[in-house]
Structure 1
């Protein structure tokens, strides 16, 4: 006699048994920074721009050690590699590019172009970052004060912004830079030129940041957390620096990444016009100025610094666009 035995696997189960047997899944909360990073990673162009920006910053920071380790000297002249019969043009093709001089030589004194590009990187980034910090500091403080207090305070600061925006910045920068070439404020030479460029670019560009911060503050001051802080007895300075400024970090960061390439171009323009960084110190704008005389017979000398400026500006713009999309809660 055969007995039918029912497998325990086929036995009917009580409702909810599977749910009870399955391990409980924990729901992990994500911070705003983590959400922004997840969005930012999806943007491949922004990631590429961020990588290039990091490499440029590392190149600028370690420019001197790199030159020392590789033996590159941005001011070392190689007259034996220039063709005197052709007015001092580098020997060989493509601007004298070779294994010893990967990007060729300049047609003026036979200096290594790669060494001058590396040397010029820290000058451009130092001026750009310094001017951005100065303009952001002034613009953020005055913008948040104008937006929060309103009334006559807002009117006075807004009129000051309009006055600064009416200045012909390029002409003003040229006149100031040209008048301080000898020495001022105890500074001489390269430190003076860098300080003047940072002051001129940063001090006269702060209204752009100020208008953005003011507009954001006008919206934030009507939010519930501001009313809650007031109801608890918080005063103006506490609300400005503890409640409003942390919520302005995103717009300030995004606009800073878009302002840095503008400052790089402005510094290059002043050096190109001869009122920025003075030779023999290498600068990308100064290299373009030197290349004007030889661009028809030696175009490589103009292409290299021009390409350096182009890639730097493009990388910062891609990074800024990616940060803007990542920090925008309404983006997909």
Structure 2
């Protein structure tokens, strides 16, 4: 039998508070998963910069109309007095830049470039955000169901994913967009074109997020918390949406931030091909399409919408990479 360790009276009477003397509460306080993720995210300066740019872009898109009204900007107003009639190019240097037109004016038409960039921001972000939301909802629901139930359900949904992935999306989008330009079920104009773009991009791209969610669900379905919920009598819908879905928020969020720039480029491509947003409504892709026709008059005209798309895509990609690293429990 081991003899008890003798302690002196001073050691025996030392209160616990004395051991923690000088230690701050923040040094021993437990941190939640969200706080740990936020700490990791703040360390990535590029991701923080991307997040700031994304917030500014969203604010510009949401407040596009008030900004135009406050500064007297009209994206469809012609300024023929600023255009050289012989060359169809803006008068002056750098595309007609001035205090009244900081980004210059459009060749041939003389419309203010800054006003059209602001006006086109809400179109591009609305189409990209709506399409991303639609694809994430469809892909998440079907992916969770396929990964949890398995069997013939998984086989049927997986073959459906393969079918959608086999579609030539660009050609299909061009065909649908071109066929409903004049009207569809009583809808027409800008709202119809935006709705068609959201549907085409979102409905035919859900298998990408569906495959990710399915794989993650198959891994989580074998965890102890799922078995515990099943043993307590929980049914499928409860396990899907109360146990599994909250654990899939991180990959879904990261994928959403990475797919938004892809959808922005897709909308710009369709507008560039003439089956996206119809003029005179401003859109970044439509501005690039006009820049090709007017390249000889003013090559700089292509630079402004191209830079807007580049900055937006880069900011979302940096934000997505930062969120992926911050939400990864294996990262340090």
The aligned residue for residue 215 of structure 2 is 215
- Using the TM superposition, give the Cα deviation of residue 293 of structure 1 relative to its aligned residue in structure 2, in angstroms: 2.2
Structure number with larger C-alpha Rg: 1
User: Structure 2: which 5+ residue stretches go unaligned?
Assistant: 1-8
Within-5 A mapping of 1:301-316:
301-316=301-316
The aligned residue for residue 48 of structure 1 is 49
Within-5 A mapping of 1:146-161:
146-161=146-161
- Using the TM superposition, give the Cα deviation of residue 20 of structure 1 relative to its aligned residue in structure 2, in angstroms: 5.0
Rounded to whole Å, the distance in 2 between the matches of 1:300 and 1:308 is: 13
SS at the partner of 2:126? helix
Which sits farther off after the overlay, 185-194 or 23-32?
23-32
The aligned residue for residue 257 of structure 1 is 257
State the aligned residue count: 319
The aligned residue for residue 224 of structure 1 is 224
Distance 1:291 1:20, change over 3 A: closer
Which sits farther off after the overlay, 122-131 or 18-27?
18-27
Is the aligned partner of 1:38 residue 2:35?
A: no
Q: 2:107·2:297 contact (CA, 8 Å) conserved in 1?
A: no
Rounded to whole Å, the distance in 1 between the matches of 2:22 and 2:89 is: 76
The aligned residue for residue 106 of structure 1 is 106
The aligned residue for residue 141 of structure 1 is 141
The aligned residue for residue 116 of structure 2 is 116
- Using the TM superposition, give the Cα deviation of residue 298 of structure 1 relative to its aligned residue in structure 2, in angstroms: 1.2
Which sits farther off after the overlay, 161-170 or 185-194?
185-194
Alpha-carbon displacement from aligned partner over 1:33-63 (angstroms, at most 9, x marks no partner): 1100000000000000000000000000000
Within-5 A mapping of 1:1-332:
14-15=10-11, 21=18, 22=21, 26=25, 27-86=28-87, 88-332=88-332
Distance 1:134 1:84, change over 3 A: same
Rounded to whole Å, the distance in 2 between the matches of 1:291 and 1:20 is: 72
- Using the TM superposition, give the Cα deviation of residue 185 of structure 1 relative to its aligned residue in structure 2, in angstroms: 2.4
Distance 1:305 1:220, change over 3 A: same
- CA RMSD after TM alignment: 1.4
SS at the partner of 2:86? helix
- Runs of 4+ with >3 A deviation: 13-21, 23-26
Alpha-carbon displacement from aligned partner over 1:216-235 (angstroms, at most 9, x marks no partner): 00000000000000000000
Which sits farther off after the overlay, 15-24 or 142-151?
15-24
- Using the TM superposition, give the Cα deviation of residue 18 of structure 1 relative to its aligned residue in structure 2, in angstroms: 9.2
TM-score, scaled relative to structure 1: 0.94
- Using the TM superposition, give the Cα deviation of residue 85 of structure 1 relative to its aligned residue in structure 2, in angstroms: 1.4
- Using the TM superposition, give the Cα deviation of residue 29 of structure 1 relative to its aligned residue in structure 2, in angstroms: 1.4
Distance 1:24 1:319, change over 3 A: closer
Alpha-carbon displacement from aligned partner over 1:240-269 (angstroms, at most 9, x marks no partner): 000000000000000000010000000000
The aligned residue for residue 5 of structure 2 is none
SS at the partner of 2:210? helix
The aligned residue for residue 8 of structure 1 is none
User: Structure 1: which 5+ residue stretches go unaligned?
Assistant: 1-12
- Using the TM superposition, give the Cα deviation of residue 187 of structure 1 relative to its aligned residue in structure 2, in angstroms: 1.2
Alpha-carbon displacement from aligned partner over 1:162-194 (angstroms, at most 9, x marks no partner): 000000000000000000000112211000000
- Using the TM superposition, give the Cα deviation of residue 150 of structure 1 relative to its aligned residue in structure 2, in angstroms: 0.2
- Using the TM superposition, give the Cα deviation of residue 313 of structure 1 relative to its aligned residue in structure 2, in angstroms: 0.2
TM-score, scaled relative to structure 2: 0.94
Distance 1:144 1:18, change over 3 A: closer
Distance 1:108 1:23, change over 3 A: same
SS at the partner of 2:331? coil
